[in-house]
Amino acid sequence: MKHLVIAGCGDLGIALGLRMLEQGWRVSGLRRDPSGLPEAFGRIAADLTSAQKPQDWPARVDYLVYCPAAGRRDAELYRALYVQGLQHVLGWLKDSRQQPRHLLQVSSTAVYGQSDGEWVTENSAALAATPTAPLLVEAEDVALRSGMPASVVRLAGIYGPGRTRLIEQVRSGLHVPQLPEQYTNRIHRDDAAGLLEHLLLQADQGELLAPCYLGVDDEPAPLHEVAQWLAQQLGVELLAEGATANRVGSKRCSNELARESGWVPQYPSYREGYASMLA
């Protein structure tokens, strides 16, 4: 039975782990307090920001998914969690003389700084001028130079169960200017988990994975369009002025490479995804 370790096993990691259990895999989740993980998961208690190898580190690791969530945009935290945390896990593997068959490192489309509505692919320059973007790129480098087969998955804004911020903003009253047009990119939590599942199964079948994939739905959309659609569903009006959603940048991320690999999103646009949440 193949053993998958999910380091930083939060909401996304749990969704992925449940899928892999259905595939007949053994799944272990690693986080500071693993008591909240599903009963079928193996539980590894560890602080990713500490070099101390967990006492219950498993004897065998076939696949590794590294997907912690910082919770706030803080450069010091990003370095500790994404760069050094991954280095710690790789060190634990080396110390145990383990060589997983593939590593998936979950990153973010926030590495892209394009802001004029350009289409962005895996080969586009990742040069966002924020304090945290270079640290995400550095963490990707750690994964790709780890000495094991590895792929980076840059996810767009995740929404879905429990991630209702935009819905609540629109419900409470939100002003979203039509111009300048601000493109946004997103992926439903279940589609993000489905993409990671798809890539793990591809790797397990001996398929050669690309070094990087963009995890987004089919339809980048202007924020005003998304907010207007939500307002109609909720029976409210967008405000003519007032508080905005405080988004930055404007780019259109392409999922063509992920789709070419055979992945198909369950929620191809914000309409299907948000409709499922509102239902």
Sequence ranges of the domains in the chain: 3-278
Cα–Cα distances in Å, from 275 out to 15, 188, 270? Answer: 20, 11, 8
* pLDDT 10s digits, 233-260: 999 999 998 878 766 779 999 999 999 9
At residue 246, the pLDDT reads 67
Residue 129 to residues 107, 153, 158, 208, 236, Cα–Cα distance (Å): 16, 20, 21, 32, 36
C-alpha 249: how far from chain center: 18
Q: Does domain 3-278 match CATH 3.90.950.10?
A: no
What's the pLDDT at 72? 92
pLDDT tens-digit series, residues 156-207: 999 999 999 999 999 999 999 999 899 999 999 999 999 999 999 999 999 9
Task: Give the tens place of pLDDT for each residue, 33-67.
Answer: 999 999 999 999 999 999 999 999 999 999 999 99
pLDDT at res. 242: 81
Q: 3-class SS at 24?
A: coil
* CA–CA distance, 249 with 254 (Å, rounded to integer): 16
Residue 20 near residue 27, CB atoms below 8 Å: yes
CA distance to 89, 188, 272, per residue, from 279 (Å): 40, 15, 11
Q: Give the tokens for residue 96.
A: 């145990």
pLDDT digits (tens, 9 = 90+) for 80-98: 999 999 999 999 999 999 9
Provide the pLDDT for residue 244: 80
The CA distance from 268 to 159, in Å, is: 13
- The total number of residues shown for the chain amounts to 279
Q: What would the pLDDT profile of 133-153 be if each residue is shown by its tens digit?
A: 999 999 999 999 999 999 999
Query: Are the beta carbons of 248 and 258 closer than 8 angstroms?
Result: no
Measuring CA to CA, how many Å separate 8 from each of 43, 63, 82, 195, 201?
12, 14, 10, 17, 20
pTM, two decimal places = 0.97
Residues whose CB falls within 8 Å of the CB of residue 27, separated by 6 or more in sequence, listed in order:
3, 4, 6, 17, 20, 21, 40, 41, 42
Q: Which residue has the tokens 């089919």?
A: 218
How confident is the prediction for the chain on average, in pLDDT?
96
Chain Cα centroid distance, residue 213: 11
What is the 3-state composition of the chain as percent helix, strand, coil, each rounded to the nearest 5? 35, 20, 45
* Averaged pLDDT for residues 200-219: 98
pLDDT at 245: 72
**Mean pLDDT computed over 4-14:** 98
